Structure 1
Amino acid sequence: MTTKTNPILITDALHADLAQCWLKPRARDAHKGQFGPTLLVGGDVGYSGAILLAAETALRCGAGVTQVACAPLTAATLWLHRPELMAKSVAQRSDLQPLLSGARVVVVGPGLGLGAWAQQLWPTLAEAGEKQVLDADGLSWLAQNPQPHPERVLTPHPGEAARLLNCSVQAVQQDRVSAVKALQSRYGGVVILKGAGSLISDDKQCWQCPAGNPGMATAGMGDILAGVVAALLAQHVPVFEAAALAVSLHARAGDIAAEQGQRGMLASDLWQPLRHLLNPKML
């Protein structure tokens, strides 16, 4: 793996600096169009939970207009569960283009699947969005069709990182700093290498999050993180800062949720502490 010489920063001070800068009170005349549109693409049949977690998190973390492009059978599920989301039925690639053209932030991957539906959409999704977040199945498609994007956040766990680097999980875990830098060098943008002590790297700096706990090793936590990143990008936080602040907020919310016990914690348990952490008067 090719590495850079930039040092790793392991400090909690970054969170305070980012929160002070980017979580200021909103102007009284703010409107939802200023914080979007955010488009999340995923949710093939049978995978509605992942896209719902990511999209609802984006809303709960401050995204304004939030749309979901999903398989036709999934759309009804989202409408019933969370009416604030604008669920759009996408049967083919031509249905997707109008949604992409107006989106400021595009999240690709939660529940996208690896089937025929995702396969026909991927060529359009690969370069989509002024700002882009690639998570879950979106990373699998990227590994098969590698290409960089300067304003993209990748959110791989070690297994996904290994596929993206064409190496073993053991190699990733033995030198996580080298792995995250190699991912950034190959794919551009900002990379979040998830795990204990998640790493965030761009081409200039690398930061390790000191917060988080083992109770967060549960289904859906990655979808929540993708939603937080998207929400911050939609609120005009720059890409590295959005990724770093999202990881820190996500981990801190997990620590608050774990006060009731690590075992049995659900990904959606982070919603309430996230709202608490995101509001300046409560920092």
Structure 2
Amino acid sequence: MSVNRSALPTTLYTAEQCRVLDRTAIERCGIPGFRLMQRAGQAVWAVISQRWPELRRITIVCGAGNNGGDGLVVAGLAWQAGVEVQLVVVGERYAERLRAEALEAWQWLSGFGVKAETWHPGVEFSGELVVDSLLGIGLSGPVRGEIANVIGQINRCAVPVLSVDIPSGLCADTGAVLGSAVQADLTLTFIALKQGLLTHEGVDFVGELLFDGLLLPDEVFEDVPVSAFRTDSEDLRELLPERPRSAHKGRYGHLLIIGGDLGMGGAPLMAAQAALRSGAGLVTLATREEHRLAAITRAPEVMCHGVEDADDIELLVARADAIVVGPGLGQQVWGRALFQAAIESGKPLLLDADALNLLAQDDSVGVGSDWVLTPHPGEAARLLETDVRDIQANRFEQVRELQNRYGGTVVLKGAGTLSCDGDVIHLCSDGNPGMATAGMGDVLSGVIGALLAQGLAPLDAARIGVLVHARAADICARHYGARGLLATDLVNTLPLAMNE
């Protein structure tokens, strides 16, 4: 049996790339397609046996493609193990519609005592577990009609649901729900990690995500390009090695944070606190004079300056190794003047919040080479003069478009945050729903800004900053729960995430 389950890979692929990998394994490595299907079915059954060892009845819902073929193998293995199998196939003349490996799976299963019943609205699922083996990664259009009805019945089940490779109805490339999709409790995906499982709506439908490589040799992957990479602990350790005992603050950068127009003083202060907790040697805050006393009371480690116009930050800019501009900046005369001063500084720069809104309004700014832009979908829509729905429909495509138009490194925030420098995309699979609250973006700006000030390249600062920020939020959620999480809760947890 293929029991090759492992931690999620760091390489992500599109559906088409997965199909190429599958063909390569069959044609170049000589692995029969039905053998791969058997390995997939065996991997699913291994998970079921481990998670539900007392299982007596199982319902397996199969479509007519290769994903359905995987389910047919699971049905045979369950029957061999003495489990009562309810095999529900979708569509009239099911066996006549099967092709290639799925047909082989049907013929193999016919040697056992498993009886198939064709789905109709009166069918009741009798299993203690439902296996979704309905639709695979080849889905391109909206789910309609009978298939949508089957998905609806699966989602109404009061028992756990395991999806084979991908929840039926989910786009493997974008994570979008194509009409309707199975709400899985667990998804076991094979061969390569599909990028849509980790972003947009995908994160709400996969449940627990497991991976099995089906024992494919490394040569299968040699000539197939990777779509994106998943940032993990190894990247963190490589880019943030242990500090020497002789370290001093001058070695770890001086970050200038600009923002906080009247009534918005908290945003840049959260960024400043996060920057210090992320290892910056020195942090200066340039904000309204009215906010200075509150800032030094809350964070005496931050060097806070009240500024009235761009002239007041000239020396502060000269001393800084990197600049964050935007948190609480506003779009009035004060904010616009400071925004322009930051743009003209020539320093590594992070633009967030109102700095992004000002950038969207000003065609004269041009393209940056070493700046980092950190838009959420709404800000991204303004930067690309579109709407949020278009941004979310294909986040991978849109982060590339943002980078192509504005240069530098772009961080498209959201579930499965993406960082792109034009050459490569990195995805963060950490994080939780508690991060959907005010101030989280300000904290992230401080983290990334601190890493820029410490000398990391923009893309590395972005992807590591996103990871640390998400893991700090996960630590908080484990202690307090996700609901009610505050951005400031993350500040003291950042060192735990960074020094893992």
Assess same fold via TM > 0.5.
yes
Q: Are residue 84 (structure 1) and residue 304 (structure 2) matched?
A: no
Letter in 1 for 2:306: S
Q: Does 1:15 find its partner at 2:232?
A: yes
What aligned pairs does 1:189-268 form with structure 2 within 5 A after superposition?
Answer: 189-259=408-478, 260-268=480-488
What amino acid is aligned across from residue 326 of structure 2 in structure 1? Answer: G
1:65-111 per-position Cα deviation (integer Å, ceiling 9, x unaligned): 11011111111221121111000111111111111112111000001
Instruction: Quote the Cα distance in structure 2 between the aligned partners of 1:37 and 1:141.
Output: 25
What is the aligned-residue RMSD (CA, Å)?
Answer: 1.4
* Separation (CA, whole Å) in 2 of partners of 1:243 and 1:266: 22
Q: Does 1:133 align with 2:350?
A: yes
Q: Which residue of 1 aligns with 2:370?
A: 151
1:272 aligns with 2:492: yes
Q: Does structure 2 conserve the Cα–Cα contact (< 8 Å) formed by 1:38 and 1:103?
A: yes
* TM-score between the two structures when normalised by the length of structure 2: 0.53
The sequence identity of aligned pairs, in percent, is 45
Q: Which has the higher contact order (CA 8 A, sep 6+)?
A: 1
Tell me which structure has the larger Cα radius of gyration. Answer: 2
Maintained 8 Å contact 1:7/1:205: no
Superposed displacement of residue 130, structure 1? 2.2
Does the 8 A contact of 2:372 with 2:458 survive in 1? yes
Where does residue 168 of structure 1 map in the other structure? 387
Contact kept in structure 2, 1:100 and 1:129, CA below 8 Å: no
CA deviation profile, 1:86-141 (whole Å, cap 9, x unmatched): 00111111111111112111000001011121122232122324211101011011
Q: Distance in 2 between matches of 1:158 and 1:277?
A: 26
Q: Which amino acid aligns with 1:184?
A: Q
Q: Which residue of 2 aligns with 1:56?
A: 273
1:270 counterpart letter in structure 2: L
Structure 2 gap segments, 5+ residues each = 1-224
1:225, distance to aligned residue in structure 2 (A): 0.5
Q: Is the 8 A contact 1:37 1:103 kept in 2?
A: yes
SS of 2:410's partner is strand
1:34 maps onto 2:257 in alignment? no
Point out where structure 1 has 5 or more consecutive residues left out of the alignment: 1-5
Q: TM-score, normalised by structure 1?
A: 0.93
- Give the Cα–Cα distance (whole angstroms) in 2 for the partners of residues 56 and 193 of structure 1: 23
Paired with 1:60 and 1:27, the residues of 2 have a C-alpha distance of 18
CA distance in structure 1 between the partners assigned to 2:237 and 2:342 by the alignment: 34
Moved more, 215-224 or 70-79: 70-79
- 1:208 deviates by 1.5
SS at match of 1:226: helix
Runs of 4 or more, structure 1, over 4 Å off, are none
- The equivalent of 1:3 in structure 2 is none
Which structure is higher in strand share? 2
